[in-house]
Amino acid sequence: MSNLALTETAPELERHTPWIVTWLTWPLLFAVNLLIIAHAVVFHWNLSISLAAAILIPIVTLVTLEFLYPLDRRWRMTWRTFFFRDIKFFLAGGLTGAATNYIFGVIGLSLAAGHVGPMTGWPLWIAAPAAIVSFDFFQYWQHRWSHEANTPWKLFLWKTHAAHHLPEQVYVLMHPAGHPFNFVLLQGFIRIPLFYVLGFTPDALFAATVIMALQGVISHCNVDLRAGWFNYIFAGAELHRYHHSANVGEGQNYAVAVSLLDVIFGTFVYRPGDNPERLGVAEPDAYPRSNQFWRIMLIPLR
Give 114-135 pLDDT, tens digit per residue. 667 788 889 999 999 999 999 9
Residue 98 confidence (pLDDT): 61
Residue 100 confidence (pLDDT): 64
Give 62-89 pLDDT, tens digit per residue. 999 999 999 999 999 887 888 888 888 8
Residue 109 confidence (pLDDT): 62
Residue 48 confidence (pLDDT): 86
For every residue of the chain, DSSP letters joined together read -GGGGS-S---SB-SPPPHHHHHHHHHHHHHHHHHHHHHHHHTT--HHHHHHHHHHHHHHHHHHHHHHS-SBGGGS--HHHIIIIIHHHIIIIIHHHHHHHHHHHHHHHHHHTT---TTTTS-HHHHHHHHHHHHHHHHHHHHHHHHH--SHHHHHHHHHHGGGTS-S---GGGTT-S-HHHHHHHIIIIIHHHHHHHT--HHHHHHHHHHHHHHHHHTT--S----GGGGGTB--HHHHHHHTBS-TTT-----SSBTHHHHHHT-----TT---S-BS-S-GGGS--TT-HHHHHTGGG-
Taking residues 30-42, what's their average pLDDT?
96
pTM for this predicted structure: 0.85
Taking residues 243-257, what's their average pLDDT?
93
- Provide CB contacts within 8 A for 78, sequence distance 6+: 4, 5, 6, 7, 8
d(CA 150, CA 232): 28
Q: How confident is the model at residue 188 (pLDDT cuts 50, 70, 90)?
A: low
Q: How confident is the model at residue 42 (pLDDT cuts 50, 70, 90)?
A: very high
Taking residues 133-138, what's their average pLDDT?
93
Residue 92 confidence (pLDDT): 74
Residue 114 confidence (pLDDT): 66
Residue 23 confidence (pLDDT): 96
